[in-house]
Structure 1
Amino acid sequence: MRLVAVTSCPTGIAHTYMAAEKLTKAAQARGHQIKVETQGSIGVENRLTDEEIRQAEGVIIAAGKGVDKDRFVGKRVLEVSVADGIKLADQLIERFERGDVPVLEGPSSEVQGPKLATRAEVKSPIYQNLMNGVSYMIPFVVVGGLLIALSLALGGEPTPKGLVIPQGSMWNTILQVGVASFTFMVPILSGFIAYSIADRPGLAPGMVGGYVAANGSFFGSAAGTGFIGGIVAGFVAGYVVRFIKGLRVPRMIQPVMPILVIPILGSLAVSALFIFVIGRPIAGVMEGLTAFLNGMQGSSKVILAMVLGAMIAFDMGGPVNKVAFMFGAAMIAEGHPEVMGPIAVAICVPPLGLGVATMLARSRYSSEEVEAGKAAFAMGLVGITEGAIPFAARDPLRVIPSIMVGSMVGAVVAMLSGVTDHVPHGGPIVAVLQAVDNVPMFFAAVAVGVAVTALMVNLLKGRQ
């Protein structure tokens, strides 16, 4: 058979390319041809041509965010999560061999059909829309956080109140560029949530609504609604625009609907909702969250770190991981990099811990697992939690508890020692890039978490 595929994950870093590799190997092993288009963080690569799609006997979409399916209408289309593209690649190919794949019958229609094993084939639309916004937001947070961290690290002067960058200096200018990047975070998040729901007409209302949501001056509040308001604005704009698109209008008005009527009505609707109804209440929630984080002491810090560490390790880049990650990224922009610090440690503990485990007890692992351990260790150094997936897939009952405990311990050490992270990423790479405060304790927290994971998983393996 000739098959084509599209892989995409919310961050566009690891899962996207791991799924592409697994699908390619699975198809080739069964004697089929396949071309995989990846929609990663650097854009679309290996783009499918119209001719390749026309010749294809089947399409696999393994994605964790919205993918345009209109070009595949009339083809047999199997839509699954990006995680299934990694873990169940062989079963997906087998579905096409059995002819057990439905035809996509209309533009943007949902693909229905039998489910795979125990996993749902398609993520919740709400999750996909949210992750679409997050994937576009992350580069702005990275740029802002990294520039702010670099300006403080290299241009800051110690004072009794902490590091201060002199006014008029080059580093102060770089700091302001970083702050400017942060200001785009909420509008981009909102805009691309709306875009995922309502396509291009939703983009402007989503961004305008996100900007209004982020600026409390519109609704008489000292603070904006932060990332929570941005999410609400994106969904409101998306569904309002989708409703307007569905209205029957005179033929003479139809040409100006997408460029004039829909953007204006959508922008006014979402802005009015925040200005007159929900802006102040959501801003109050954000102020309460900020007060809670500022007031955290002792046990409350430990509990937060444990919860975040466990969530990061639990599904290694999946939905639970992304919720914790998004919370940490949003808190950077809200002035709380101390929340991202423990997350940055937890992100790298699973792959590093399992890599170390295979080095310490090679006899308890197959030769394939030992090689996977080397790859996992390398991925851990650059903050890719997904390096632990091959181990968890083979032995979830021993591996998942081990990486969760290790990440929790590492996160607690980081939280209690004041480790902060100014960019939404993890692993030693963030320390190398000067994005972390209290670097020695960052590495100490990573080392403790890795040791706990390695020792625990090897102890459990020794009892099998």
Structure 2
Amino acid sequence: MKKILAVTACPTGVAHTYMAAESLIKAAKEKGIPLKVETRGAIGVENEFTDQEIAEAHAIIVAADTDVLESRFAGKPVVKVGVAQAIKNPVGLLDEAIAKQAAAPGDYAKQVEKSKSERSAARSGPYKHLMTGVSHMLPLVVAGGLLIALSFVFGIEAFKIEGTFAAALMQIGGGSAFALMVPVLAGFIAFSIAEKPGLAPGLIGGMLASSTGAGFLGGILAGFLAGYTALLLKKYIKLPRTLEGLKPILLIPLIASAITGLLMIYVIGEPVKAVMDGLTNWLTALETTNAILLGLILGAMMAFDMGGPVNKAAYTFSVGLLASDVFGPMAAVMAAGMTPPLGLWLATLLARNKFTKEERDAGKAASVLGISFITEGAIPFAAGDPFRVIPSIMVGSAVTGALSMAVGATLRAPHGGIFVLPIPNAVGHVGLYALAIVAGTIVTAVMLSLLKKPIDQKPIK
């Protein structure tokens, strides 16, 4: 039998969420359809799907009026309706899901997306929670950084004149978007740990991290503190069933916010502020030799696991520094993240006899992913010949990162790849920055072309 998954959620997370789940379960039993229902209610997620269950499912029913992390279901047939529809017509939804055509096998780009999803699924514990916060913070950083850069189009000091368009752009980007960076980071770290009850204390802790000068490091600590505090309260506060709804909307946010806030003000804020100030001063005062070394290390980290924990550590470090007006590491990291797929594409052109036709075709797709700053575009190549590909891309990315720091390149938007280069003032020293990317791409391609054997010889296992 075809397996079906269903997720139900309503805005309040109380009645309709569970009524819809019960209706679907009852209808599935009557029709003999294997079904698992995930509910996302006020108390949190129950019966959460595993990655294996999603992979094995024929189709997914999303009966929800709020966010249910639909990105998990990429590539799967989805029946999407409001939560009330699952209560009214569960049989019709099940029939529609069964009738859906199974997803077709993917091409190279879908292989890359699958690799990204598998890596995301493999994340667990603190790393998963941190990445949840970073992923929700990124749109604010990207939008804010580009708006700040656009304000400089009217002159580097134009935003200081009140009432001007430049001042408005700076207020939106710097005064609002960047001001929300740390609170959103902390809020969604806490949300990942404790779900809805952790969001409010996380946001409050993040705001206190900003106001005390503790920066993104303080925000990370606030998020974990708020999340685990809320999780413990969620586990140990016991109330009668009729009063259970008070836990997620009153008791847990109140107590966790108070504990987090007091610790941020009296214990954590000042020491972390001192650390952030010291880090910012050190990075600002970097001399050429040290700057090149930092760029080299960050570049190699970006290529080492192509979107894995080491890559994300370098990326998160650089993104966090944007709030402290340190823009050099961000430039080095994005350039180094673009280089691996671009270098592999160039290698398929320079050494055609060392790549199969399928690999040469994949190289074309990798080039698009590379210019878009999707380092994971290199994963299928690295998986097929890791002992030659990974050293080559690490050396190329290290060269790019070092050159980017050496020429003093800066980047105000932490994503976008080549598409942010034409935006005025988004990138400092844009010509030299582009040359750094080209240099690393060439180094990667040449090194890999020398290391790889003709296709009639098997790669090292």
Greater CA drift, 403-412 or 42-51: 42-51
What residue number does 1:333 align with? Answer: 323
Unmatched runs of 5 consecutive residues or more in structure 1: 7-22, 57-81, 90-118, 217-223
Corresponding residue SS for 1:316: coil
- Equivalent of 1:270, from 242, 251, 260? 260
Q: Does 1:318 align with 2:308?
A: yes
Q: Does 1:128 align with 2:128?
A: yes
* Displacement after TM superposition at 1:373 (Å): 0.4
Question: What TM-score, normalized to structure 2?
Answer: 0.74
- Corresponding letter in the other structure for 1:442: Y
What residue number does 2:45 align with? Answer: none
* Displacement after TM superposition at 1:157 (Å): 4.5
- Equivalent of 2:181, from 177, 180, 185? 185
Unmatched runs of 5 consecutive residues or more in structure 2: 7-51, 63-68, 81-85, 87-92, 99-110
* Displacement after TM superposition at 1:378 (Å): 1.2
What residue number does 2:419 align with? Answer: 429
What residue number does 2:372 align with? Answer: 382
Percent identical among aligned pairs is: 43
Corresponding residue SS for 2:307: coil
User: In 2, Cα distance between the equivalents of 1:120 and 1:351?
Assistant: 20
Cα separation, partners in 2 of 1:245 and 1:164, compared to 1, 3 Å: closer
Q: Does 1:419 align with 2:419?
A: no
Within 5 Å, give how 1:30-429 maps onto structure 2. Answer: 33=58, 39-40=70-71, 47=78, 85-86=114-115, 122-152=122-152, 154-157=153-156, 166-179=161-174, 180-216=176-212, 224-251=213-240, 253-425=243-415, 427-429=417-419
- Corresponding letter in the other structure for 1:319: P
Cα separation, partners in 2 of 1:47 and 1:349, compared to 1, 3 Å: same
User: In 1, Cα distance between the equivalents of 2:71 and 2:330?
Assistant: 23
* Displacement after TM superposition at 1:54 (Å): 12
User: In 2, Cα distance between the equivalents of 1:296 and 1:309?
Assistant: 17
Cα separation, partners in 2 of 1:431 and 1:151, compared to 1, 3 Å: same
User: In 2, Cα distance between the equivalents of 1:442 and 1:210?
Assistant: 33
Cα separation, partners in 2 of 1:382 and 1:308, compared to 1, 3 Å: same
Cα separation, partners in 2 of 1:296 and 1:87, compared to 1, 3 Å: closer
User: In 1, Cα distance between the equivalents of 2:94 and 2:373?
Assistant: 35
Higher-helix-fraction structure: 2
* Displacement after TM superposition at 1:299 (Å): 2.0
Cα separation, partners in 2 of 1:399 and 1:34, compared to 1, 3 Å: farther
Corresponding residue SS for 1:423: coil
* Displacement after TM superposition at 1:122 (Å): 3.8
Question: What TM-score, normalized to structure 1?
Answer: 0.74
* Displacement after TM superposition at 1:454 (Å): 0.5
Whether contact under 8 Å (1:237, 1:267) holds in the other structure is yes
Whether contact under 8 Å (1:350, 1:450) holds in the other structure is yes
Cα separation, partners in 2 of 1:39 and 1:351, compared to 1, 3 Å: farther
What residue number does 1:453 align with? Answer: 444
- Corresponding letter in the other structure for 1:338: G
* Displacement after TM superposition at 1:123 (Å): 2.7
Q: How many residues align?
A: 376
CA-based RMSD: 3.3
Whether contact under 8 Å (2:60, 2:76) holds in the other structure is no
* Displacement after TM superposition at 1:166 (Å): 3.9
- Corresponding letter in the other structure for 1:156: G
User: In 1, Cα distance between the equivalents of 2:72 and 2:245?
Assistant: 34
Cα separation, partners in 2 of 1:415 and 1:239, compared to 1, 3 Å: same
* Displacement after TM superposition at 1:39 (Å): 4.0
What residue number does 1:96 align with? Answer: none
* Displacement after TM superposition at 1:187 (Å): 0.7
Whether contact under 8 Å (2:4, 2:97) holds in the other structure is no
Cα separation, partners in 2 of 1:384 and 1:4, compared to 1, 3 Å: farther
Cα separation, partners in 2 of 1:189 and 1:34, compared to 1, 3 Å: same
User: In 1, Cα distance between the equivalents of 2:235 and 2:137?
Assistant: 28
Whether contact under 8 Å (2:133, 2:187) holds in the other structure is yes
Q: Which has the larger radius of gyration?
A: 2
User: In 2, Cα distance between the equivalents of 1:231 and 1:417?
Assistant: 31
User: In 2, Cα distance between the equivalents of 1:431 and 1:120?
Assistant: 29
Whether contact under 8 Å (1:349, 1:449) holds in the other structure is yes
Q: Does 1:440 align with 2:431?
A: yes
Whether contact under 8 Å (2:339, 2:393) holds in the other structure is yes
Whether contact under 8 Å (1:210, 1:230) holds in the other structure is yes
Corresponding residue SS for 1:317: coil
Whether contact under 8 Å (1:348, 1:426) holds in the other structure is no
Whether contact under 8 Å (1:155, 1:165) holds in the other structure is no
